[in-house]
Chains A and B, each alone.
Chain A
Amino acid sequence: MQLSTLLSFGQPLTSESLLASAAYTLSEIPRRLVRRILALEKLPFIVGTNPFVARTLDTYRSSFAFLAQYPGVKTLEENAFFSTQLEQLVQSHANDIPTMAKGFQECARYMTPSEINGFLDGAIRSRISVRLIAEQHIALSRALESTTFPNTNHYGVIQPNCSPAQMIRSCAAFVSDLCEATLGGTPPIEINGHADAVFAYVPVHLEYILTELLKNAFRATVEQRQQQHGKQASGLYPPVVVTISPPQRDQRSFNQPTFLSMRIRDEGGGVATKNMPHVFSYAFTTAGHRHHDVVDDEMDGGPYAAQHISGGAAVDADESLQQPGQSTLFSEITGKGLQTGVGTIAGLGYGLPMSRLYARYFGGSLDLFSLEGWGTDVFLKLRCLNDAVDIEI
C-alpha cells in the first residue's frame, strides 16, 4: 500500500473520506495481521509451544477475528465507536515486542540468529505499518470531530513542519532525568548545524528514535567518565552534540526523495571493535558490563550470545535451559537491570535495531561509526514525507 493512498483520505478530510478511510483500515489491517499469523505458524513447532510465542499468536488471532468480522462502518457514529475499538486493539498489542523477545530468548537453541533477526525485522516492520494505519484513522476521526473548517487538508499522524531541534530538546530532557536518576549524572546536550530546519514526518517515530539514541549516548558518556574519574565525576561531562542538516534540493533531481540528516556524537568511549558486528542484533547490550569484555569469543549462540548474565538474572532463570553467557531479558524488564520508576535507560538491547527499522521504514537510514576508546557517531537520515510519491508501507 502506498503512503500517498493513506494520506489521501485526509486531503481533503470529509465525512465521506473518513468513512472510506474506515473501510480501508478494515481491509488493510487484517491483511497484515494474517501475514504475521502465518509467519508465527511457520516457526518450528517447538518454538510455537513456548508460552510467550503462543500468547503473541493468540493476540494476533483474536485481533484478526475481531476486525475480519467487524460490520461495515457506515455512519460517523459507527466510526466513533470503531475508532475507540481500534485504539483498544492497538493497546492490546503494546507488549508484543517484549513478549516475543522473552519467547525467542528461551528458544535461542532452536533457531539461528539470522532466523530470529529476520523474523523480528518482519514482525516489527509490520507492527509499525499496522499502528500507522490505525493511528492515522484515529487521528483523522478526531480531526473531523473537532475541526471547525471542513474540507481542508489534514495530515493525521504526519506533522508537516516537525522541528528536529525541538524534538531533540524534549527527548533530551526526558533522557536526562532518567540518566540522572539511574546513574547520578547527566551530560549536557548541544544542538548545532541548521537548528531551525523543519520537515514533514511522523513525530512519534522521530521521538522513539531520538529517545533511544540519546539514551545510548547519555549512558555511555556518564559511564565512561565515571569509569575514568570515579563516581564523583560531577559536572564536567562532555556534551552530546547533535548536528542537523536540512533536506537538500538538488537542482537536477526534482522528483528525487529528500532527506533530513542528523549526526549524534558522543564521547562515551565508543564501541569495542569486536562488538561492532553485534550492535544491530536484537538483544545485544553492553548495559552493566562496562568493566568486562562483553563478547565471549567462544560463544556462537543466538543473537543473545553476546549478552552476559547480569546480576539478578540467575535468580529467575531456569538454569537447565539457559545457555552460557545469556541474561534473562525478563529480569531486565522487571527490575533487576538498570531501571528506575521512570523507565529503563538501558537493558533490552532493542534500541538500535528498532531505531534503524524505524529510520528505514520510510526509506531513510541509520549508521553507526565508532572510535574505540573515545566515542560514537550515529548518522540518522529521515525521508521527508511531503513529497511521498513512492513510499510503500
Chain B
Amino acid sequence: MSSSANACFRAHRPVLSFVWTPHRHASTSSAPKVMHFYQNKQLELYASKSAHRLTLRQLVFFGRSMNAERIIKSANYVRTELPVRIAHRLRDLQALPFVVVTQEEVAKVYELYWSAFEKLRRFPPIATLDENDRFCEFVSSLLDEHATVIPALSLGLSLSSPHLPPEKLDAFMRRMLVSRISRRVLAQHHIALSASLRNGENSRSSGHVGIIHTHLDVRESIEKCVELLTAAPPRVFSPEADGEELAGKLNCPRVIVDGHAGTKFAYIQEHFEYIMFELLKNAMQHRTASTTPLVRATIAAGKDDIQVRISDEGGGLTHSTVKAPSDLFSFSHVRNTTRMENERIGALRTVSASPRGMRATVDEQVTEWKSTDPGKTADMIAHQRIGIGLPMSYIFATYFGGSLELVSLDGWGTDVYLRLPKLGTRLEEIEV
C-alpha cells in the first residue's frame, strides 16, 4: 500500500486504547464515551467564536431596569454565550496530554463539560417568560451537576503533576477556574434577575442587582466573617481537634478592623465574602493558651481600587513547604508539596465523590459545620483538609483584574494584601 493509504488506515482504528500506568484511568466502560474524534466539528464551531468579556458595570446596568423583554434577551444571551465559553475549555482539555485527561477524575470533568455543552447548544431559543423559567431551572441543575468539578479537577491534576510542568498546570487550572466562575456569574446573575422580576423586586431599594451588591460595606462583610469564624467549632481551624474540646483551652484570636471604615463598593457579594472568609480563616488559625493573638484587617479605599490587608502573628512561613509565598496559590505539588499529602488527596477524593461537591462559597462551609448530621460533619472535615482556599481566593481576586499577594515575616506572622477594582470597569479575565 502507498504510505498515504497507510495513514488513512491508521486513522480509522478505534481511538480508545489505554496504556496502563499507575494512574487510575477511566475503565473502558466509563471511558469518555464522547471521545468521538469526528464529532468534534460542532465543538470547533463554537470554540472558534470569541467569548464576550463583560464588566461588572455592564452586569449592573443591564440588570437595573428589568422587564419581560430584557429578561428574555438576557436568557438568550446566556444561552448562546455559555456554550462558547465551555467549548473553549473543552478544546483546552483536549490539548492536554492523553494520559492526563484519561485520569479518572479529569475524565469525569471532561464528560461533565461535554454533556453540558451538548445540552446547552441544543436548548431552543427562549421567547416567553415561561420558557425562561424552564431555562433557569435547566441552568440551575447544570450548576448543581458541576459542583464536583473543583475538587475533581484539583485532585486529578495533583495526581497528574508528573506529566505537566508546574507553570502549565497552574495556567491550565487558572483558565478552567476563571472560566467556571465567569459562567456561574452569568448563569446566577440571570437566575437572580429572573427571580427579582418574578417577585417584583426593586433593585434600588434592596441594593442588589442580581448577584451584585451595589453598596457592599467592606467592614460589615469582614465583621460578618469574623463572627462566623469566632463561632466555628475548633476543628475548622485544626483538624486534629476532632472531638477534642480545645475550645476554652486556647484563646481565639482577636480581630481588629481599621483603616477607612465607611468604605463601600459594588461587587459580587459571594466572591468578596469567600475571599475574606478564607483569608481570615488562615489568619485566625494560630491560637495559644498564653496570649490572645491579634489579627488586624486594614481597609484602604484607593482611587480605583479597594484594598484589604490582613496581618496575623501566626509565625509566618517558617517551616515551609514552599519556596516562595506565591507557591501557596499553586495547584501543583511540585510547587507546593503539601498538595500530595495523603490527607489532602484523601479529602479531595471524598469531596469529589460527594454529590454536594464544593462550590467555593461561605454559606456552603457554614451550613456544613452548623449541621449535626454526621454525613455533613464528615464532609466538613474533609472540606477543611482540601487546602485550596488560597488558590481559589487568588482566582476570585484576579477574576475582574484584582490581585492577591502574600508576604511572610518568617518567625513572626503573615500579611496578605487583597486588591479589587472598585469602579466596575475592568473586564473579566477570561480567555477570549
Contacts and interface: CB of A to CB of B under 8 A. Distances in A.
A155 interface: no
A373 interface: yes
A261 B410 contact: yes
B405 A374 contact: no
Contacts of A374: 259-260, 298-300, 307
Interface in B309-328: 309, 316, 318-320
A197 to B, nearest CB: 9
A245 interface: yes
A365 to B, nearest CB: 11
A251 to B, nearest CB: 8
A245 B409 contact: yes
B305 interface: yes
B300 A371 contact: yes
Interface string B249-285: 0000000000110000000000000000000000000
B216 interface: no
Chain B, interface size category, equals: 20 to 34
Contact of B410 (A259, A272, A367): A259
B415 interface: yes
B412 A372 contact: no
A245 B318 CA distance: 11
Contacts of B318: 248, 250
B5 to A, nearest CB: 58
A262 B408 CA distance: 10
Interface of B is mostly: strand
A263 B259 contact: no
A375 B259 CA distance: 9
A372 B303 CA distance: 8
A382 B282 CA distance: 27
Nearest to A272: B303
B304 interface: yes
B292 to A, nearest CB: 15
Contact of B412 (A193, A251, A369, A373): A193
B407 A194 contact: no
B415 A377 contact: yes
A261 B415 CA distance: 13
B305 A273 contact: yes
Nearest to A367: B407
B411 A373 contact: no
Interface string A249-272: 011000000010111000000101
B302 interface: yes
A322 interface: no
B410 A373 contact: no
Contacts of B320: 250
Contact of A273 (B301, B302, B309, B405): B302
B276 to A, nearest CB: 16
B417 interface: yes
Contacts of A244: 412
Given A193-B412, A245-B411, A373 B304 contact: no
Contact of B298 (A262, A371, A379): A371
Interface in B393-420: 405, 407, 409-412, 415, 417
Contacts of B300: 270, 371-375
Contacts of A261: 409-412
A246 interface: yes
B259 to A, nearest CB: 5
Interface string A216-248: 000000000000000000000000000111111
A245 B301 CA distance: 29
Interface in B372-396: none
Contact of B405 (A193, A243, A369, A375): A369
Contacts of A247: 411
A372 B305 CA distance: 8
Contacts of B415: 263, 369, 377
B316 A245 contact: yes
Contacts of A250: 318-320
Contacts of B307: 371-372, 374
B67 to A, nearest CB: 39
Nearest to B319: A250
Given A371-B259, A371-B298, A374-B298, A273 B304 contact: yes
Contacts of B409: 193, 243, 245, 261-263, 379
A379 B407 contact: yes
A193 B320 CA distance: 20
B56 to A, nearest CB: 18
A159 B323 CA distance: 29
A72 B352 CA distance: 76
B410 A248 contact: yes
A372 B427 CA distance: 22
A247 B299 CA distance: 31
Interface string A265-292: 0000010110000000000000000000
Contact of A373 (B260, B316, B319, B417): B260
A22 B301 CA distance: 58
Given A371-B309, A372-B307, A374-B259, A245 B412 contact: yes
Interface in A346-380: 367, 369, 371-375, 377, 379
Contacts of B299: 374
Given A372-B307, A373-B260, A374-B260, A246 B302 contact: no
Contacts of B260: 373-374
A6 B19 CA distance: 59
A251 B320 CA distance: 11
A273 B303 contact: yes
Contacts of B302: 270, 272-273, 371-373
A263 B309 CA distance: 14
> Of residues B298, B299, B318, B409, which shows the largest number of chain A Cβ atoms within 10 Å of its Cβ?
B409
A129 B161 CA distance: 44
B311 to A, nearest CB: 9
Contacts of A251: 319
A260 to B, nearest CB: 9
B259 A245 contact: no
Contacts of A367: 407
Given A261-B409, A374-B300, A379-B409, 10 more contacts: A194-B412, A247-B411, A367-B407, A369-B405, A369-B417, A372-B305, A373-B260, A373-B302, A373-B303, A374-B299
29 contacts: A244-B412, A245-B316, A245-B412, A248-B318, A248-B410, A250-B318, A261-B409, A261-B410, A261-B412, A262-B409, A273-B304, A273-B305, A367-B407, A369-B405, A369-B407, A369-B417, A371-B298, A371-B300, A371-B302, A371-B307, A371-B417, A372-B300, A373-B300, A373-B301, A373-B302, A374-B300, A377-B407, A379-B407, A379-B409
In the A-B complex, the 8 residue pairs with the smallest Cβ-Cβ separation, listed nearest first, are A372-B302, A371-B300, A374-B300, A245-B412, A245-B411, A245-B409, A371-B307, A248-B411
Interface of B: 259-260, 298-305, 307, 309, 316, 318-320, 405, 407, 409-412, 415, 417
